[in-house]
Amino acid sequence: MKKLIIFGTGDIAELAMYYFNNDTNYSVEAFTIDGSYKKSDQFCELAVVDFEKIQDVCDPKEFSIFIALSYTEMNELRARKVNEAKKKGFNIASYVSSNCTTFETFSCGENCFILEDNTIQPFVEIGNNVTMWSGNHIGHHSKICDNAFISSHAVISGGVEVGRNSFLGVNSTINDHIKLGEYSLIASGALINKNTNDFSVCIGAPFKERDSIRSIDIKL
């Protein structure tokens, strides 16, 4: 078994521990979090180590790390912690459920978290630090760029590009050959039938962009 550290002490971290321990060849050995946010020395009966000291306690040659964070700051916080862990010398793990539908063309980058019942058709490209909650459809020849977060039961049709740091809400639908701009925020239930701008906030079916606010200015 390969040894794994999980960054985080919230619900997503607990969930990640369950998936890695039960559906991969990783064994979760410890948790880590920034010292200023640490509330206890243990989480889920494992040690919680200050992130500032993690490389001194857990040798990066022996441990990998997974950053178990949500879409805070339009996914920027999760991306920063991935980069900080890499600078400490750690390899970054990904989790892809054994209960996904994938094909021989499937690949994804580091720190991906792809849960059960995702259907990922052939020739899909998935970048680094992408979260895909359960039950999504990702159409053929689509590209999911770095740091995206896709909630449950989204439909991404063929030939779509999901821009860097985008967020797709539950039950959102993206028509074929649409390009979502970077940092697009797609509300739950939205229907996207044309390209979106960078930092757009898209609500409704069919959608309308909120001109008065940028996605990065919304506290998620």
- d(CA 76, CA 147) in angstroms, rounded, equals 8
Q: CA–CA distance from 193 to each of 48, 63, 163, 172, 177 (Å)?
A: 45, 44, 15, 11, 9
Place of tokens 């992408």: 130
Q: Which residue has the tokens 């600078």?
A: 87
Indicate whether 77 and 180 sit together in one domain. Answer: no
Q: Is residue 219 part of a domain?
A: no
DSSP state of 93: -
Calculate mean pLDDT across residues 177-183: 98
Residues 124 and 44 in one domain: no
**Euclidean distance between CA atoms 139 and 174, whole angstroms:** 10
Report DSSP state, residue 25: S
pLDDT band per the 50, 70, 90 thresholds, residue 212: confident
Q: Tokens 């509330």 identify what position?
A: 39
Within this chain, do residues 114 and 152 fall inside the same structural domain, yes or no? yes
Q: For residue 47, what is the domain's CATH number?
A: 3.40.50.20
CA atoms within 13 A on the CB side of 91: 10
Same domain? For 112 and 144 the reply is yes
The domain in which residue 35 lies consists of 2-93
Residue ending a domain, choose from 93, 116, 140: 93
Tokens of 61: 């040659």
Q: What is the pLDDT of residues 4-57, one digit of tens each?
A: 999 999 999 999 999 999 999 999 999 999 999 999 999 999 999 999 999 999
pTM of the prediction? 0.97
8 A C-beta contact, residue 36 and residue 19: no
